[in-house]
């Protein structure tokens, strides 16, 4: 593969570029689903190709092709240069990259069991057992389950001398039970909605998730929701489980700290951000308890945002985002670091695959757990009147990331430290900084989970990326609840 | 570009490598390029050429799919083996039909030409020239522009071992632009198979005017308002209901149409077709099994008339408890590639023209008090059966009073039932090809809707 990348780098160099990098990617995936006792889909896929990114005349060009013979590779490199020169026709200033020491490295996602070594037969058997367990509960009208495995091997070489061979492996699994009755569809998912839990791990994740053990309870809850009371409307103390809080972090912290959004680069599609540059180290983002990091390092855990090097060869890092409530950092790249006074990228540039331009993406954006020991049950015991919401059902936030509304699958009214009743169709809404400033308790590390969001969309053409979000159940005071059904 | 002859040769090799009872091969891909600009600068500029071959094999009621983008013999042998090995370990599915053959598949649906040579050969320089024009509009008005100008050509094809062979190629071009002012913004987007239908300068001028006219937005309280939704706003919100027009969605009891087909769900003035051959539509005229996409009336004068079906779904519904409650049941050419769990969906939505079409300006003139909405954003489903959707307004939200636009207002969050919305439509424009960011392209009108439910206001 090095020879192939050298063909591209040499061709670009001969065309007088100031910078070039080449990525060759080989992606492999397996996706299996079941629905109501049968296999829903069963697919294996692979995709291999090369992309060339260059700066010429002070502007960016990018081209990608599946062709890996010398003629195709050189044509792709020449095309990238041609595109860069066209870009230079409409520019305000030259692109300038923060310096980065070239790296020669190998990196592979730590894993115990390569998921592709587990037979499809065994995969399907597990899913059908889960499916049967879900449908054993009277009232379940639809049961769905899924298993997903991905491997992405990449060779990255740059004109500055970087030479990085990296292999990332991820595993995902989950299921959902639906109950349709009267004029209502209720649903419960496990371990999370929209595909379950995903991590950069091997097949060992599947055993850790205790999928089968939880299936009956989840199905029973879906049916029981039909008898539950509607979520009340008003201001309540709100307790969120860690998976819903993970998505709250994703939407109301992760996206607004993307420096490309802040600088207007995503204005036409994903939007901009309320976190204008003047807010760095001046904005009280949250209460004193709020500590958020962007951590791509393996020591943070096996999140979907964990890697050795980003897609422009910058090593994984940990950046403090919110420190004791103060806003302290953005997600940056080599091109954007200088705008916040940094002389080095934060290492967050990633691409969906070999055929996509890398862009600033969340790594693992995590709320650190509280230090005093505190379990979810203890948090409930300390709540006089509140609502506990679990598992996301809907999510929406404006294009500057101020106003959000989330719906959850199930809620519990808490009265005098006890779950008083189940409630259906729970939702809450608010303004980002007001919400984070209302946080008054975070459970401790025993309750902390590094959740995976496999479906984060951004960019044009749109790219889908996996991100990680660590969170422990937390409590927020005086939150607006129930207006989704007003 | 991959040619039909080259694809046929690849299919022949795959057939030789396969031992399955039946083999089906899909081809997709093409050449695409996208020039992206922000802060009045081209900051991303990409191009790609890639093709995927996707192989489905069947052994006695067991099926699976594998795909690759490598067409050499070794890779094709590998992808056939992958498909066959996953198929073989499954339990036979009694509902899996034999692949369609040339006799049973019917004649291809005839669609207008959708491949335009001028669009296929757009260069990076031509796209940069288009961007330069749009940035020029921004600079003359002290605004900041962000957007895209993309172009490409693509193929979709299907071959199966029963002799079916379908091939579709088309071009596409798209321009989207956001104009940013200090505290306001405006947006426009258009696409077409033929770049000659796109006018970059005009789109930029409209977006710029929206940014200027919505400057210094004031906050007005949330509540129920009469709204005028421009076509992009209409398509982005109504797009969320068309998944439910799948026969499979009714079988799964996850559709808001369960128990409602044949009933008057929307206003008398709402008639909706699915019509791949409509001159303003795009896309291939066959589905994931090669079946011709039929023109269907989904809703007529507010009554939900029927659903769409893949071949297999139609047979299952005919044997189900729902068979007498869902209108005509037959394969309609709307299935996804097998195997899948979603079944089918109508993707070529066309709203019927109203009896008395009005322009947006005429709707404004006829509005005592209300909100004019350019586009909607981050729409998600709150309630699947009542079809309550939430989302935000964006990039040009205006207050209207006494028949005139009075200026920009801060953006709203809505929580609105689609069923109620389509029962409250008071006026419509002539439907036009429209595109947004939340749903697929459609031919839709602007709509004046009463009692649209805004529940919150954001900070800008």
Beta-bridge partners for B371: B227, B399
- pLDDT value, residue B126: 98
Nearest CA to B249 out of A401, A180, A70 is that of A180
Q: CB burial class (10 A; 0-12, 13-18, 19+) of residue B299?
A: buried
How far is residue A255 from each of residues A139, A270, A292, B271, measured CA to CA in Å?
39, 9, 13, 39
Contact flag A60-B437 (C-beta cutoff 8 Å): no
- pLDDT value, residue B106: 87
The CATH number given to whatever domain includes residue B91 is: 3.30.2290.10
CA nearest to B455 within chain A = A483
- pLDDT value, residue A19: 98
The conformation of residue A47, written as its DSSP 8-state character, comes to E
Cβ proximity of A254 and A458 under 8 Å: no
- Chain centre distance of CA A87: 31
- Look up residue B148 and give its two tokens: 């895209």
Residue B251 host element (H or E): helix B247-251
What's the total number of domains in chain B? Answer: 2
The minimal CB distance from A33 to the residues B70, B252, B341 is found for: B341
The minimal CB distance from B39 to the residues A39, A47, A92 is found for: A92
B-chain residues within 8 Å CB-CB of A93? 41
Q: For the structural domain made of A2-227, what CATH number should be given?
A: 3.30.2290.10
Mean pLDDT of A377-383: 98
- Look up residue B460 and give its two tokens: 């800008």
DSSP structure string for A191-258: SSTTT-EEES--THHHHHTTHHHHHHHHHHHHHHGGGSEEPP-EEEEEEE-HHHHHHHHIIIIITTTB
Mean pLDDT of A355-381: 98
The answer to the question of residue B235 being in a domain is: yes
B-chain residues within 8 Å CB-CB of A42? 63-65, 86-87, 90, 339
Domain map (residue ranges) of chain A: 2-227, 229-485
Q: How far is B96 from chain A (nearest CA, A)?
A: 11
* Cα angle: A448, vertex A451, A452; to 5 degrees: 165
Q: How far is B357 from chain A (nearest CA, A)?
A: 31
B-chain residues within 8 Å CB-CB of A25? none
The minimal CB distance from A427 to the residues B38, B93, B382 is found for: B382
The answer to the question of residue B211 being in a domain is: no
The minimal CB distance from B48 to the residues A266, A355, A485 is found for: A355
Q: How far is B164 from chain A (nearest CA, A)?
A: 22
A357 vs A267: CA distance, rounded Å: 17
CA nearest to A408 within chain B = B382
Contact flag A41-B456 (C-beta cutoff 8 Å): no
Mean pLDDT of A416-429: 98
Contact flag A64-B49 (C-beta cutoff 8 Å): yes
Contact flag B125-A79 (C-beta cutoff 8 Å): no
- Residue in B45, B66, B174, B263 to test binding to A, most A beta-carbons within 10 Å: B45
Contact flag B150-A274 (C-beta cutoff 8 Å): no
Nearest CA to A58 out of A358, A335, A268, A267 is that of A335
Q: B100: Cβ–Cβ under 8 A, 6 or more apart, which residues?
A: B160, B162, B164, B289, B290, B291, B311
Task: Of A257-261, A482-486, B130-134, give the lowest mean pLDDT range.
Answer: A482-486
pLDDT at A450 over 90: yes
Contact flag A65-B48 (C-beta cutoff 8 Å): yes
Query: Interhelix angle for A211-224 vs A120-135, to 10°?
Result: 30
- Residue in A33, A43, A355 to test binding to B, most B beta-carbons within 10 Å: A43
What pTM value is reported for the model?
0.98
Cβ neighbours of B323 (radius 10 Å): 11
Cis peptide before A258 (omega within 30 of 0): no
> Mean pLDDT across chain A, nearest whole number?
98
Residue A486's pLDDT band (cuts 50, 70, 90): confident
pLDDT at A1 over 90: no
ipTM over 0.85: yes
Sign of the C-alpha dihedral computed for residues A282, A285, A291 and A292 taken in this order: negative
* Cα angle: B353, vertex B382, A352; to 5 degrees: 90
CA nearest to B392 within chain A = A398
Contact flag A33-B384 (C-beta cutoff 8 Å): no
- pLDDT value, residue B104: 85
Nearest CA to A211 out of A149, A133, A301, A302 is that of A133
A309 vs A162: CA distance, rounded Å: 11
The minimal CB distance from B34 to the residues A33, A38, A461 is found for: A461
Contact flag B45-A35 (C-beta cutoff 8 Å): no
A-chain residues within 8 Å CB-CB of B123? 86
Contact flag A398-B378 (C-beta cutoff 8 Å): yes
- pLDDT value, residue A317: 98
Contact flag A65-B49 (C-beta cutoff 8 Å): yes
Contact flag B252-A66 (C-beta cutoff 8 Å): no
Contact flag B45-A268 (C-beta cutoff 8 Å): no
CA nearest to B260 within chain A = A183
Cβ neighbours of B3 (radius 10 Å): 11
- pLDDT value, residue B188: 98
Mean pLDDT of A134-161: 98
- Assess whether B136 and B221 both reside in one domain: no
B-chain residues within 8 Å CB-CB of A484? 382, 388, 390, 415, 455
The answer to the question of residue B95 being in a domain is: yes
A-chain residues within 8 Å CB-CB of B457? 403
- pLDDT value, residue B222: 98
- pLDDT value, residue A244: 98
Nearest CA to B76 out of B152, B117, B16, B31 is that of B16
B356 vs B290: CA distance, rounded Å: 39
- Assess whether B65 and B133 both reside in one domain: yes
- Look up residue A121 and give its two tokens: 């037969």
A-chain residues within 8 Å CB-CB of B337? none
**In terms of residue numbers, what domain contains B413?**
217-460
- Look up residue B191 and give its two tokens: 């696409």
Nearest CA to A350 out of A322, A310, A316 is that of A310
How far is residue B343 from each of residues A32, A150, B97, B153, B336, measured CA to CA in Å?
16, 25, 14, 27, 6
Cβ neighbours of B93 (radius 10 Å): 16
Contact flag A484-B69 (C-beta cutoff 8 Å): no
Residue A224's pLDDT band (cuts 50, 70, 90): very high
A13 vs A75: CA distance, rounded Å: 13
CA nearest to B94 within chain A = A38
Cβ proximity of A429 and A252 under 8 Å: no
- pLDDT value, residue B380: 98
Contact flag B47-A64 (C-beta cutoff 8 Å): yes
- Assess whether B154 and B248 both reside in one domain: no
Beta-bridge partners for B26: B54, B158
CA nearest to A359 within chain B = B44
Contact flag A40-B340 (C-beta cutoff 8 Å): yes
Residues recorded for chain B: 460
Query: Interhelix angle for B124-140 vs B200-213, to 10°?
Result: 30
Contact flag B148-A60 (C-beta cutoff 8 Å): no
Residue by residue, pLDDT tens for chain B (460 residues) are 999 999 999 999 999 999 999 999 999 999 999 999 999 999 999 999 999 999 999 999 999 999 999 999 999 999 999 999 999 999 999 999 999 999 989 899 999 999 999 999 999 999 999 999 999 999 999 999 999 999 999 999 999 999 999 999 999 999 999 999 999 999 999 999 999 999 999 999 999 999 999 999 999 999 999 999 999 999 999 999 999 999 999 999 999 999 999 999 999 999 999 999 999 999 999 999 999 999 999 999 999 999 999 999 999 999 999 999 999 999 999 999 999 999 999 999 999 999 999 999 999 999 999 999 999 999 999 999 999 999 999 999 999 999 999 999 999 999 999 999 999 999 999 999 999 999 999 999 999 999 999 999 999 9
B-chain residues within 8 Å CB-CB of A33? 341
Contact flag B458-A183 (C-beta cutoff 8 Å): no
Contact flag B456-A429 (C-beta cutoff 8 Å): yes
Contact flag B39-A265 (C-beta cutoff 8 Å): yes
Cβ proximity of A360 and A348 under 8 Å: yes
Contact flag B459-A403 (C-beta cutoff 8 Å): yes
B32 vs B120: CA distance, rounded Å: 9
- pLDDT value, residue A2: 87
- pLDDT value, residue B320: 98
Q: Give me the total of CB pairs closer than 8 Å, taking one residue from chain A and one from chain B.
A: 273
CA nearest to B31 within chain A = A65
CA nearest to B93 within chain A = A38
Residue A217's pLDDT band (cuts 50, 70, 90): very high
Cβ neighbours of B280 (radius 10 Å): 17
- Look up residue A426 and give its two tokens: 């729970």
Cβ proximity of B379 and B389 under 8 Å: yes
CA nearest to A50 within chain B = B48
Cβ proximity of B62 and B93 under 8 Å: yes
Cβ proximity of B179 and B204 under 8 Å: yes
* Cα angle: A467, vertex A465, A276; to 5 degrees: 70
- Residue in A71, A272, A405 to test binding to B, most B beta-carbons within 10 Å: A405
């Amino acid at each position: 593969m090095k020879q192939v990348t050298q063909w591209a780098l040499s061709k670009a160099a001969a065309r007088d570029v100031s910078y070039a990098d080449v990525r060759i990617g080989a992606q492999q995936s397996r996706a299996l689903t079941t629905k109501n006792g049968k296999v829903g889909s069963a697919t294996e896929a692979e995709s291999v190709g090369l992309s060339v990114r260059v700066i010429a005349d002070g502007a960016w060009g990018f081209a990608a092709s599946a062709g890996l013979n010398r003629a195709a590779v050189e044509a792709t490199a020449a095309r990238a240069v041609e595109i860069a020169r066209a870009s230079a026709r409409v520019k305000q200033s030259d692109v300038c990259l923060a310096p980065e020491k070239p790296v020669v490295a190998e990196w592979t996602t730590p894993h115990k069991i390569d998921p592709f070594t587990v037979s499809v037969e065994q995969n399907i058997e597990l899913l059908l057992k889960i499916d049967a367990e879900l449908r054993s509960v009277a009232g379940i009208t639809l049961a769905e389950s899924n298993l997903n495995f991905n491997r992405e091997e990449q060779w990255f070489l740059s004109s500055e001398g970087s030479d990085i061979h990296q292999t990332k492996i991820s595993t995902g699994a989950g299921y959902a039970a639906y109950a349709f009755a009267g004029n209502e569809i209720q649903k419960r998912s496990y371990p999370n909605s929209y595909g379950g839990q995903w991590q950069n791990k091997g097949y060992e994740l599947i055993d850790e998730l205790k999928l089968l053990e939880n299936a009956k309870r989840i199905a029973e809850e879906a049916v029981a929701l039909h008898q539950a009371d509607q979520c009340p409307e008003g201001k309540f103390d709100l307790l969120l489980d860690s998976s819903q809080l993970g998505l709250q972090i994703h939407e109301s912290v992760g996206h607004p700290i993307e420096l490309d959004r802040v600088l207007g680069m995503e204005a036409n599609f994903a939007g901009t951000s309320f976190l204008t540059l003047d807010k760095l180290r001046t904005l009280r983002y949250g209460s004193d308890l709020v500590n958020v990091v962007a951590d791509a390092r393996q020591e943070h855990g096996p999140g979907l945002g964990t890697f050795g090097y980003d897609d422009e060869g910058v090593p994984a890092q940990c950046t403090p985002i919110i420190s004791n409530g103060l806003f302290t950092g953005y997600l940056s790249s080599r091109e954007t670091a200088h705008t916040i006074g940094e002389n080095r990228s934060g290492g967050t540039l990633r691409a969906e695959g070999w055929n996509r331009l890398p862009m600033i993406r969340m790594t693992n954006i995590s709320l650190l757990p509280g230090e005093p020991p505190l379990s979810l049950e203890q948090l409930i015991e300390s709540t006089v009147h509140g609502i506990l919401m679990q598992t996301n059902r809907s999510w929406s936030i404006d294009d500057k990331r101020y106003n959000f509304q989330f719906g959850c699958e199930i809620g519990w009214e808490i009265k005098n430290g006890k779950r008083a009743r189940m409630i259906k169709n729970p939702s809450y809404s608010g303004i980002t900084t007001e919400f984070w400033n209302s946080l008054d308790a975070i459970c401790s590390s025993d309750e902390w989970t590094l959740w995976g969001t496999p479906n984060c969309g951004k960019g044009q053409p749109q790219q889908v990326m996996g991100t990680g979000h660590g969170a422990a159940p937390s409590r927020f005071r005086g939150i607006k609840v129930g207006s989704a059904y007003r | 570009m991959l040619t039909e002859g080259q694809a046929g040769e690849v299919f022949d090799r795959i057939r030789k490598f396969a031992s399955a009872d039946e083999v089906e091969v899909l081809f997709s891909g093409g050449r695409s390029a996208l020039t992206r600009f922000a802060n009045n600068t081209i900051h991303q500029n990409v191009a790609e050429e890639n093709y995927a071959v996707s192989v489905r094999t069947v052994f006695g009621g067991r099926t699976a799919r594998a795909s690759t983008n490598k067409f050499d013999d070794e890779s094709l042998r590998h992808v056939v083996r992958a498909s066959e090995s996953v198929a073989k370990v499954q339990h036979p599915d009694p509902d899996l039909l034999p692949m369609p053959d040339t006799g049973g598949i019917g004649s291809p649906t005839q669609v207008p030409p959708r491949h335009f040579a001028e669009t296929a050969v757009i260069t990076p320089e031509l796209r940069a020239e288009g961007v330069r024009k749009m940035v020029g509009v921004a600079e003359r008005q002290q605004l900041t522009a962000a957007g895209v100008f993309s172009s490409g050509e693509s193929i979709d094809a299907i071959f199966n071992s029963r002799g079916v062979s379908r091939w579709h190629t088309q071009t596409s071009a798209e321009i989207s632009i956001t104009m940013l002012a200090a505290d306001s913004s405006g947006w426009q987007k258009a696409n077409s198979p033929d770049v000659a239908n796109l006018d970059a300068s005009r789109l930029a001028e409209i977006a710029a005017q929206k940014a200027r006219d919505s400057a210094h937005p004031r906050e007005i309280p949330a509540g129920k308002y009469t709204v005028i939704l421009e076509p992009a706003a209409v398509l982005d919100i109504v797009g969320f209901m068309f998944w439910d027009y799948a026969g499979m969605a009714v079988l799964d009891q996850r559709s808001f149409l369960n128990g409602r087909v044949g009933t008057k769900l929307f206003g008398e003035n709402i008639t909706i077709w699915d019509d791949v051959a409509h001159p303003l539509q795009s896309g291939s005229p066959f589905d994931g099994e090669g079946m011709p996409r039929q023109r269907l009336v989904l809703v007529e004068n507010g009554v939900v008339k029927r659903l769409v079906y893949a071949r297999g779904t139609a047979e299952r519904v005919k044997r189900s408890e729902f068979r007498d409650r869902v209108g005509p049941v037959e394969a309609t050419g709307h299935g996804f590639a097998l195997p899948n769990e979603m079944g089918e969906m109508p993707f070529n939505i066309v709203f019927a023209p109203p009896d008395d079409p009005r322009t947006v300006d005429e709707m404004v003139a006829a509005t005592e008090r209300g909100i004019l909405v350019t586009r909607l954003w981050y729409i998600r489903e709150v309630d699947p059966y009542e079809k309550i959707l939430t989302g935000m307004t964006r990039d040009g939200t205006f207050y209207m009073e006494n028949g005139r636009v009075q200026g920009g207002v801060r953006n709203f969050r809505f929580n609105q039932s689609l069923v109620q919305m389509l029962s409250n439509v008071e006026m419509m424009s002539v439907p036009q090809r429209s595109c947004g960011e939340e749903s697929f392209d459609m031919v839709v009108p602007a709509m004046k809707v009463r009692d649209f439910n805004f529940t919150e206001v954001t900070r800008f």
